[in-house]
Structure 1
Amino acid sequence: MLKPSQTLHNHLEKIPGDDLNGVKTFDPVVDRAAAEQSTLWEVRTEEQPYAFLSDPTVEEKNRYGQKIDLLDLSGLPAERSLYINDNPEVGANPNRNKQHGFFFTADNCIGCHACEAACAEKNETPAHLAFRSVGYVEGGSFPDYQRLNISMACNHCDDPVCLKGCPTRAYTKHAEYGAVLQDPDTCFGCGYCTWVCPYNAPQLDPIEGQVSKCNMCVDRLEVGLKPACVSACVGNALDFGVIENVPHNREQAEASIPGFPDPTITHPNIRFQQTRGLPDEMKRTDSAPVKYRKAASGRYEPVVDRSKDATTGGSTRHWNLARLSSRENPLVLFTLATQAAVGTFALAFLGDQFGIEALVRFNQGPAYVLLATLSWLLAAGGLFMSTLHLGKPLRFYRGFNNLRHSPVCREGLGIALFLGALALHILFSLPANGWIQSLYAGLFGAAINTLIAPATAAAIAAAWGALAIAGGLAGLYYMNRCYRIKARPFWDHWQVASSFFGTALSLGALLGGAVMIAALALEGAAYSEIILLAGTVLSLGLAIEGLGLLAHARAMNAAQHEGAASHYVQRTTFGNTYRLRNLLLGTGLLAAVALVISGASSPWALAAWGVLGAALLAASAIGRALFYVLVIPTTMPGAFFWKNKGFEEHARAIGLAAMPQVGVVPQGH
């Protein structure tokens, strides 16, 4: 939280006796009269010389080729105000418009957590949030067992994926200091930024229903002070200044250390020194089955730690059905419902447009509007469930603020377009509906065709139906793009698209076929062609999804990263559940193909389709729940009791989570 102080000062002066390379800072002990009339922020009298910014030289570009002078990139005026707490005053830091960043010397960090405490005090964060946190990795054997501490906050990246992903545009990359700032009041708590950030910087507060994060202490920077965490570091491990400037008495400025995610994802503005020799393999102390192994290049890369599976260790398979439930349950329902809705309507509408006789006959009957309405209700219900996933559901309308960058916005727009166009398609399909014609004639004594010519209504309905299909397909495409996240390698595979579009085909054919067969059976019409068509589409959907799952499993088995670790958990912690899902999909595909080939339409065949449908619904629900529960992001390592999923689950199980100071909150969103 950026807060004004009780006493404000604006007197510029070098601190007597201290050489800060000519950078002027605010001296609160000089000219009390002038200080009392100031409109800037307080510099406490106990601030030490090392707490002041000092950057005598500045490079032109950073190691990624990005210009460090951000005014050259933005074209903005140099003297813009940040309006910190509505204060229009502009700081006098001569490097105010240069990209700043953190410098972490791992050799010096003793794991005292003073930086965490200073950050928490400065920002008044509750126990379950920390904008800066210290995790660690360990390796070696007695007597040479070593720990590497890692202090991490937001890295104010050159390419902030949080900014691009946020649907509400709550993030801004400022030319002032290069700070990536987030406005909690704009945020509606979807948590997507917490997915895409590789460093666990944005913090979702399920109690407040919004995200907040490190703000670089820009109020301190405006008066020449380093961030609070840097000033509090007792081991001189943290430093801060213009990026690429190596602090005094430092000899390295590396882009990565063991446990740090791939810097090419976002080009983070943090540099490291770590000269002390480390074992070739370093392990995390949290429950994530990931460790880091030194490669030939000298860089430590993630590999799967097969000594633990987040349950009992080893390779034993478990069910853990209760653990399939998560805070992402609304998204499980949203994705399945919208995919089924799009698939159902597409089957009925496109089949009619392509002249498939059975579907033409069905669409001319009274039940077509019922099926289209059912698709609309299913998609609308899914969209409603997605708003329940938000921390502040009443702010759902902000989900279209960042159409330029965010796939979440485009996904929502596609589904909204599907709903709107489908509603109009249903409206203009009414004149051709027998039930509606009878009802209208009974109420008004005239045919509904007197309102609009049937041919005109059919043409308009067809146009809106085509637009609904386009919107639905766009929504599914961007739904897939939402999960192609580099920070979550388990999701970053084309299997996501095959699963989403395959589910649209299989569940759409299942639901649409059931309604069509029932409607035609009630009319006494033949429905064998519907069984053949719906069964073929269902089989195609299952085949597409199955091929994607096979390719995904092969890719994850061959990989050595967090995605491979997620797959390892899938085969161990949820091993039996995973096999059940695969068994249901595999046997379902074989059974569907057999039923299609047989062409049977007897009551026994319909019963078999019913059993098959129930099995596929179960497989879809299990698979989608696994999709959300399994993912291990490329986050920084945690500790035994902090940012450790295993400890959080243990605390909830024994009731320790009821103590707010433990920092574990309920499974909400």
Structure 2
Amino acid sequence: MSTESPVGSSDGRGVPDITPFPVNGEPRAPFAPSFTQPESLQTFLAELLADQQRLQTPAARAAAIHEVQPAAFRGERFRDLIPLTAPGPGEQYAFEVDLDACSGCKACVAGCHSLNGLDENETWRDVGLVLGGAPDHPFQQTVTTACHHCADPACLNGCPVLAYEKDPVTGIVRHLDDQCIGCSYCVLKCPYDVPKYNERLGIVRKCDMCHGRLAEGEAPACVQACPTQAIAIVKVATFSSETTAPNPQLAALSSTDSSYTRPTTRYVSKRELPARLRPADADTLRPQHAHLALIFLLTGTQLGLGLMIAALLPGVPAWIAGLGWAFFFAGLVASIAHLGQPFRAWRVFLNLRKSWLSREAIVLGHAFAPLSLYVAVRFGLLDHLPPPPSLVRAHLPEIVQLTGWAGAVFGLLGVFCSGMIYADTRRVFWRPAQSLGRMLGTVLVAALTFTAPVLAAAVLAAKLALELVTLRGSSHPARLQRGPLLMLLSGRLLAGGFALAFLIMHEPVLAFVWLVLGELAERTLFFRAVDSPKMPGVPAV
């Protein structure tokens, strides 16, 4: 069998055209097995395997070209796919994806994985699928995606330790591995699911557009691996913050408001995209990671703060203050377990100007010191110290009380910061009314449990109603809670119901036990049922 080589022509980018190979001088005909009798099964399988070997996928055609003409795949042949000069003022590098050329072969994923030395289950580039069109004109498109190197990157703005930097010349958003503490907040902030947590290293990593290769005039791994030249690096104009929709094509493919981070990736096509596109995995229900350490942090600090606020009121026994301090302290300690690199946690204050996570850490730390001092005085742990000056001693009760209230104020500010950490991700389930309502509600119920049980029951009932609102409609969080997370939701409502009953019966100790269990379940739902914006994927099998 003779096969003609298609390496003689070029597409204008310096890479030979990749056209289907003829078979025996004629186009390959559809496979029709000569399988007429049961005993000819072996013959049928042999013909089937032979036909599979003749399939001319883009990757197979590129491999054949490489075998015939290796020079076609040298680095300099891909320089038409990258800019050879640095971006000028008001410009930056960006990916450009030709949707008409993308075949969904995932060679870009394999090339990125190999040349960047990623771990076995680590990927910086993904390929998904969008569907749309009318029943008589259906539309299907594969979409390759990596970091969009946004003009206003949410990962950079949210990182508490400044582990991201945006190159002032190229605009490439790079992750600084040696600065990362592994808190994964950038994973929550990014609306495109770009940063990936590496459990072996305890840090987050992501695409850096192979900036080292670009600096040497070499194409990035994905660009060089694509057999159809569907990916290129181009210069784009950076958009001002006043621009509302700088990237309508990407917004249509991802269903994400592109004005949030102003992504720069360009998706081009000669075809007009349908008005309503839908990711192929839109109906796939995937409960999110539980973040157990954060569950204990949020529940512990908020229940503990509520109890210590109650202890500041006249006539409340000291043991309630001690119990509250224990919960608050346990929550702070639990937060360390959330970090992949806990010994770098001292850096958490570095992005106080932009990151709510930095603000939460600083404010809760400022709350802990005065609250600890207040509890120590209540339990007489400082009685063995030398007596203070007479002027201080005369007003010591008032000073201790003011110290306790100062700690409570810092604690409430810390709870506000905790709520804003999640509201700032712009996820619908974590909108401010839900995040702040749930967390401040936990503090208020705990504060009233031992001082005004009936009022605490009313607040808890309102909090449960706020949570049940999220069950309405067909949103992703609603379907998750009514489906895979139904047992967890039932447990939360059962615990909340018992807490309500014991509060009404003026049994605060039993009510608090059920309150703790219910709040732990509620905070687990808070993380597991959240909507997870991302680029299109593929349906779960």
What is the DSSP-based 3-state SS (H/G/I as helix, E as strand, rest coil) of the residue aligned with 2:178? coil
User: Contact conserved, 1:98 with 1:175, CA < 8 A, in 2?
Assistant: no
Instruction: Give the 3 Å change call, closer, same or farther, for CA 377–619 of structure 1 in structure 2.
Output: closer
Residue matched to 2:476: 565
Counting matched residue pairs gives 465
Gap runs ≥5 in structure 1 = 1-17, 21-43, 56-90, 246-251, 291-304, 311-322, 353-357, 363-367, 514-532, 596-604, 641-645, 648-669
Q: How does 1:172-187 map to 2 (within 5 A)?
A: 172-187=165-180
The answer to whether the 8 Å contact 1:165/1:407 transfers is yes
* Contact in 2 for aligned 1:244/1:253 (Cα 8 Å): no
* 1:451-502 Cα distance to aligned partner (Å, 9 max, x none): 8853333243233222211210111000000111445322124111111011
2:445 corresponding residue in structure 1? 506
Q: Does 1:375 align with 2:324?
A: yes
Pair 1:385–1:54, CA change in 2 (3 A): closer
In the TM superposition, what are the counterparts of 1:54-453 in structure 2 within 5 Å?
93=86, 95=88, 98-138=91-131, 147-243=140-236, 254-276=249-271, 284-286=279-281, 290=282, 305=283, 309=285, 327-349=290-312, 351-352=313-314, 358-359=315-316, 362=317, 368=318, 370-427=319-376, 433=380, 440=384, 453=392
The alpha-carbon distance between structure 1 residues 107 and 400, as it changes in their structure 2 partners (threshold 3 A), is same
Per-residue CA deviation, residues 276-309 of structure 1 (Å, 9 max, x unaligned), is 47778766454xxx2xxxxxxxxxxxxxx4xx65
Q: 1:134-163 CA deviation, whole Å, 9 max, x = no partner?
A: 122346899987542111111111111101
- Report SS of the residue matched to 2:174: strand
Q: Which amino acid aligns with 1:548?
A: L
Q: 1:253 to 1:458 in 2, by over 3 A?
A: closer
Measured in 2, the distance between the counterparts of 1:486 and 1:188 equals 19
For residues 371 and 116 of structure 1, the distance between their equivalents in structure 2, rounded to whole angstroms, comes to: 56
Is the CA contact (8 Å cut-off) linking 1:103 and 1:238 kept in structure 2?
Answer: yes
Q: Distance in 2 between matches of 1:170 and 1:422?
A: 32
Q: Of 466, 473, 485, which residue of structure 2 is paired with 1:574?
A: 485
- Partner SS, residue 130 of structure 2: strand
Inter-partner Cα distance in structure 1 for 2:349 and 2:454: 37
Partner SS for 1:136: strand
User: Which residue in 2 is equivalent to 1:473?
Assistant: 412
Residues 525-570 of structure 1: CA distance to partner in whole angstroms, max 9, x if unpaired?
xxxxxxxx3314522531442342244445xx2xx6xxx1121110
Alignment check: 8 A CA contact 1:196 1:485 kept: yes
- The CA distance in 2 between the partners of 1:281 and 1:266, in whole Å, is 22
Query: Structure 1 residues 396, 616: closer, same or farther in 2, change over 3 A?
Result: same
Question: Residue 549 of structure 1 aligns with which residue?
Answer: 467
* 8 Å Cα contact 2:500/2:511 also seen in 1: no
TM-score by length of 1: 0.63
Is the aligned partner of 1:538 residue 2:477?
no
Q: Show structure 2 runs of 5+ residues with no match.
A: 1-11, 15-71, 239-246
Equivalent residue for 1:454?
A: 393
- CA contact under 8 A between 2:325 and 2:375: conserved in structure 1? no
Amino acid aligned to 1:262: D
When residues 405 and 236 of structure 1 are mapped into structure 2, their CA distance, relative to the original with a 3 A threshold, is: same
Distance in 1 of aligned mates of 2:453 and 2:212: 64
Q: Is the 8 A contact 1:570 1:578 kept in 2?
A: yes
Q: C-alpha deviations, 1:435-466, integer Å up to 9, x for none?
A: 875xx4xxx9xx95788853333243233222
2:522 alignment partner, one of 620, 623, 638: 623
- Name the structure 2 match of 1:38: none
Q: Contact 2:188/2:425 (CA < 8 Å) preserved in 1? A: no
- Give me the whole-angstrom Cα distance separating, in 2, the residues matched to 1:382 and 1:165: 22
Q: Which AA in structure 2 matches 1:549?
A: E
Cα distance in 1, alignment partners of residues 471 and 290 from structure 2 = 25
SS in 2 for 1:264: coil
Cα 1:119/1:179, change in 2 over 3 Å: same
Q: Give the AA of the match of 1:217.
A: C
Distance 2:409 2:466 in 1: 24
Gap change, CA 1:627 and 1:639, over 3 Å in 2: same
- The Cα shift of 1:97 comes to 7.5
Q: Does 2:504 correspond to 1:635?
A: no
Instruction: Give, in angstroms, the shift of residue 388 of structure 1.
Output: 0.2
Contact 1:102 1:271 in 2 (8 A): yes
Residues 278, 171 of structure 1: alpha-carbon distance in 2 compared, 3 angstrom cutoff: closer
Whether the 8 Å contact between 1:501 and 1:541 is mirrored in structure 2 is: no
Code of the residue aligned with 2:420 in structure 1: it is: R
CA contact (8 A) 1:196 1:486 kept: yes
CA distance in 2, matches of 1:92, 1:281: 38
Residues 372 and 422, structure 1, Cα contact 8 Å, conserved in 2: no
Maintained 8 Å contact 2:91/2:237: no
Which residue identity does 1:569 align to in structure 2?
Answer: L
Helix, strand or coil at the partner of 1:483:
helix
Pair 198,453 (structure 1): closer, same or farther in 2 beyond 3 Å: closer
- Per mean C-alpha deviation after superposition, the further-off stretch among 218-227 and 119-128 is 218-227
Q: Secondary structure at the match of 1:149?
A: strand
Deviations 1:167-209 (A, max 9, x none): 1110112212111111011001010000110111111101210
Cα 1:486–1:331 change in 2 (3 A) is: closer
Q: TM-score, normalised by structure 2?
A: 0.76
Query: 1:586 offset after TM fit, Å?
Result: 4.9
Query: By how many angstroms is 1:127 displaced?
Result: 1.8
Shift of 1:111: 1.1
